[in-house]
Chains A and B, each alone.
Chain A
């Protein structure tokens, strides 16, 4: 090959077939595979070799396709997951992934499986450490990795299927595999960047390089005309409706495009729309924009200082809002306490770091606009786009794609308004996938918190009073900041009985990216402070740290700090007690001396499921077709957590059929009623109830037709239903029944809205219909010389009310713990400095120790079959349990997150006499 490879053609073997592609010079193999050779089973998460999602085999060796020039593939053999699917080994691995729940959202699954197949072909029965070494280059944000390791080891051991995998109808309580797993393990599930048609234009958003800057455009029209392939540039002037959005209407403050001044680094000011080749070749430096940086307030302290620049005219002193809860007299109680501990705790911006950057496409469907994108909240997207586009909601259709992780950030708009505006403007399909950097710069984060807390107790260990004051950096725009401000004071007591309490949380605007929803809405930060101080208090009083918590745990009939009394379903004591065996064992363990220290910590948490004192309905619809299909319109977004499976299980249980008999439709705003947002751990609880009611209602309609009693058994029977009531079987011939316009011969549509009551000025009321409860135990080994923390073991007890699917519960718990571990030990988003996945660190497969999940079932009167929400609870106790374990091992009380090696080492040096 001593001649230049002709630019026009690169020939290689793709999945056993010779292919020829004509890439641009310097084009990434990942791009060529996806865009020119239709191999969209290759996922792109970072374009920097940091996440491994794009792993393919080149001549048998796993490489990141994003780091290989396509031209370098000339003459080589390239295999993607799709090509490996012909190998029986793939079938076994896929079976193991599904049986173990090793795929949640599925975006990392192709990279994981390709890496695992390379390992298995060389090492047929790998050990756990060998699996970790082989898969260490692929990041997963959902699973906590343990089930992936288990699935690969099981494949090698030729025990791919789980021995205990249940058979049967899949009703509530069954640890069945997810209903949508096959597409994930085949690499055929379609995510945000996988759905655009080939003729789509490409959009590029232009963003502020400064935390705060005035800007002015030059002659954009002239630039557009002089730049071949560019179709248009859109700015605020192109917005037909309001240049404003926000998830909480009263706080909607974020422009689609900044006007005049950008308020954070990464804020959108314009977007370019053009032909794919033109946008790929775009030199952004040629676009005429003048930036004038201005002094920015990049911390809450700076934002609150006299003379600080004000982000929003109507929010004096950059105070967005305050949340407040008070009962009794906290100061008086603290004054009479035998022991009072206090501390100041700070946490950092935490990035969601889902492996799928935001992506989608929009197109005109007649006069209507359809937006296909990854989202956690299709109905909210539709409402927000209607305002931006100045059109009725009925003109807009949201078709969610597969969601490659959400964790709260995909509740807010990201790509949607740009796509919709561009489709409207050009009349053509337009696509957009955020780069990793712009995903990190521009989408919401977990709020950094600065918390000052005091807690007092009697000498015999009864909690007396607590005072909590927290400042939360909400960034430039409100997003879900008001929700954080509201939730934190309600939850900052932890799941304990505290009669005298005062908590205030303030959301402070800064010139930082907007902080919004991230698994727990501020509660994980508050738990860091409260649960750390509980250990200090127990130690001060000479009490066992776990027993101290058990003694003060809320019970049925006791008021929360909001004065809410639950007569049933308060499961925290059971969770804490479930940790006793592990706690006793670990406390009795001989402590090593020298550089390797070992410690154990516990912490608890609670979380109210659903919106705080606000309406929060979900609606589910189901129907029977003449050919005997049972269709459930499933509008509760499955973002990997398993909502589709859980809804199908609950619905099938209520209807009395097998899960396998249920056909799911959706989500799609044209097809599915409003299942609400996937947020606030509300889907199993709220949507689950709507699915249950829909199932019950459809069952009643069927039984009425058959004149059958409550206990009758319904079976599908080709175009009919067989309804057996005692000795009598009635055959309901569906083909003979008239179908409605949707094609259903029988249908049901039901809504559930959890009962809550407003909070008064002191935060007293009934904010949630149910809480879920959790307690974690963490065991760590500390390398004292290096300041590194190595978690060895987690035991996690969760009161889920009723376990709808224990396998999915384990998946949530393990994944939540991984995120809590990251928050505690390594994750710190610094605008301009950690805008990639090698400077911003999330846990890798080698960082997660085994997790023992203990499922506690204190059934809840409001939950479907007694079930409670879980998605956020799994993260809340993790970080404080780790901090308490670190303190147990070293004596150093860490109060700033993350506990990096340097910070821990500094604390150890300071602690030395």
Chain B
């Protein structure tokens, strides 16, 4: 039988297709096509962009549910509180407008590039990945979902259906800083996202810091986050020990030493943006 293109609107139908055949899951296509080049498609194609359940940004109790096929433009334009500031800034840095209109949040995470722009801000929002599969639903913390470059915990019969953002401190704000060699359409050399809250005395009472393109997978910096609590933003000093979760490498964009060296600056800038607006 000839291979076919499936664009179901019903999730169960989509799940029924997975695992029964060789099938490529495609959403915005912004990573799928470049990775294939001229290689012809083998097997079926499952287009998940018409699955109603994968769309929309909604309140979910005290938190938020972001459909897996939500585009970056939808994130950038959504009515979200300031703690999403980093995510929205990242949304405007994913390629150009054309990519932002097509590329999806789950696609960015499932592609599992070490330089995925979505990873650091979602990590700072404690995002969980909701998967649906033959055994039902499960949720994984984002850090457990992306397991390595181009590797995720998604089973071949599973689909990412949504990201869940738990309740965030109402006063927290987010920011995102990306460094590259040109203004637009640039793959990050390194990037940092933060969410931070200040108490009435101006001391940090909520801190999340995540860094991308400096390890096989973007990483939170828990030691730094712990140390930030109770300090004023101006008194935060990033040490090499704080960066222990990172393992930057040399590539065509920069060397490892540069990455390690600019991350503290990115953190301090992201803090400034988050705190000063």
Contact = CB atoms under 8 A, between A and B. Distances in A.
Interface in A1-33: 1-2, 4-5, 7, 24-26, 28
A2 B13 contact: yes
Contact of A136 (B96, B187, B253): B96
Given A67-B30, A435-B37, A25 B98 contact: no
Interface in B165-214: 179-187, 189
Given A61-B73, A834-B252, A5 B99 contact: no
30 contacts: A1-B7, A7-B2, A25-B45, A47-B33, A48-B33, A52-B96, A67-B30, A67-B32, A67-B33, A68-B102, A69-B26, A72-B7, A72-B49, A115-B98, A132-B183, A133-B97, A136-B185, A137-B95, A137-B96, A435-B38, A787-B258, A787-B262, A841-B181, A841-B182, A844-B185, A845-B183, A846-B184, A847-B183, A901-B258, A902-B255
A791 to B, nearest CB: 11
A170 interface: no
A785 interface: yes
B10 A2 contact: yes
A71 interface: yes
Interface string A470-509: 0000000000000000000000000000000000000000
A512 B97 CA distance: 36
A833 interface: yes
Contacts of B32: 67
A386 B184 CA distance: 45
A49 B258 contact: no
A786 interface: yes
Given A281-B40, A787-B262, 12 more contacts: A4-B6, A25-B3, A47-B33, A55-B98, A64-B30, A72-B7, A786-B179, A836-B34, A844-B182, A844-B183, A845-B183, A902-B254
Among B29, B30, B95, B99, the one with the most A-chain Cβ atoms within 10 Å of its Cβ is B29
B179 A66 contact: no
A398 B4 CA distance: 43
B4 A7 contact: yes
A437 interface: yes
Nearest to A898: B181
B261 interface: yes
Contacts of B262: 785-787, 901, 905
Contact of B40 (A137, A283, A834): A283
Interface string A71-111: 11010000000000000000000000000000000000000
Nearest to A61: B101
B258 to A, nearest CB: 4
A273 B68 CA distance: 42
Interface of B: 2-10, 13, 24, 26, 28-30, 32-34, 36-41, 44-45, 47, 49-50, 73, 92, 95-99, 101-102, 179-187, 189, 252-255, 257-258, 261-262, 265
Contacts of B102: 63-64, 67-68
Most buried by A among B33, B39, B50, B181: B181
A376 B152 CA distance: 49
B185 A137 contact: yes
A280 interface: yes
A843 interface: yes
Contacts of B253: 839, 900, 902
Nearest to B186: A841
Interface string A879-913: 00000000000000000001011100110010000
Interface in A790-836: 825-826, 828, 830, 833-834, 836
B5 A5 contact: yes
Contacts of A74: 7
A66 B33 CA distance: 8
Interface residues of A, number: 68
Nearest to B33: A67
A134 B97 contact: yes
A261 interface: no
A838 interface: yes
Interface in A340-373: none
Contact of A900 (B36, B92, B181): B181
Given A2-B9, A2-B10, A67-B29, A49 B95 contact: yes
Nearest to A906: B258
Contacts of A838: 34, 185, 187
A282 interface: yes
Interface string A38-65: 0000000001111010010010011110
Nearest to A280: B40
Given A901-B179, A901-B189, A7 B254 contact: no
Interface in A729-758: none
B40 A786 contact: no
A138 interface: yes
Contacts of A900: 181, 253-254
A65 to B, nearest CB: 9
A283 B186 CA distance: 31
- Secondary structure class of chain B's binding surface, majority of residues: loop
Interface in A120-144: 132-134, 136-139
Nearest to B102: A63
Contacts of B261: 905, 909
A139 B262 CA distance: 28
Contact of A844 (B38, B49, B92, B184): B184
A66 B45 CA distance: 17
Interface in A558-581: none
Interface string A660-692: 000000000000000000000000000000000
A458 interface: no
Nearest to B6: A4
Nearest to B27: A72
A788 interface: yes
A444 to B, nearest CB: 21
A67 B96 CA distance: 13
Contact of B29 (A7, A68, A898): A68
Nearest to B12: A2
A64 B179 contact: no
B5 A71 contact: yes
Contacts of A71: 5, 7, 45, 47
A136 B93 CA distance: 10
A28 B33 contact: yes
B94 to A, nearest CB: 10
Contacts of A5: 4-7
Nearest to B13: A2
B50 A137 contact: no
Contact of B5 (A68, A69, A281): A69
A763 B2 CA distance: 68
B189 A902 contact: yes
Most buried by A among B34, B96, B184: B96
A333 B181 CA distance: 42
A115 B97 contact: yes
Contacts of A63: 98, 101-102
Given A72-B49, A137-B97, A280-B40, A25 B183 contact: no
A841 B95 CA distance: 13
A74 B45 CA distance: 14
Nearest to B43: A25
A48 B73 CA distance: 19
A49 B98 contact: yes
A905 B10 contact: no
A439 to B, nearest CB: 13
Interface string A433-453: 001010000000000000000
Contacts of A69: 5, 26, 29, 45, 47
Closest 7 pairs between A and B when the two form their complex, measured CB to CB: A137-B96, A846-B183, A26-B41, A136-B184, A902-B258, A902-B254, A48-B34
Contacts of A786: 179, 262, 265
Contact of A64 (B7, B13, B44, B99): B99
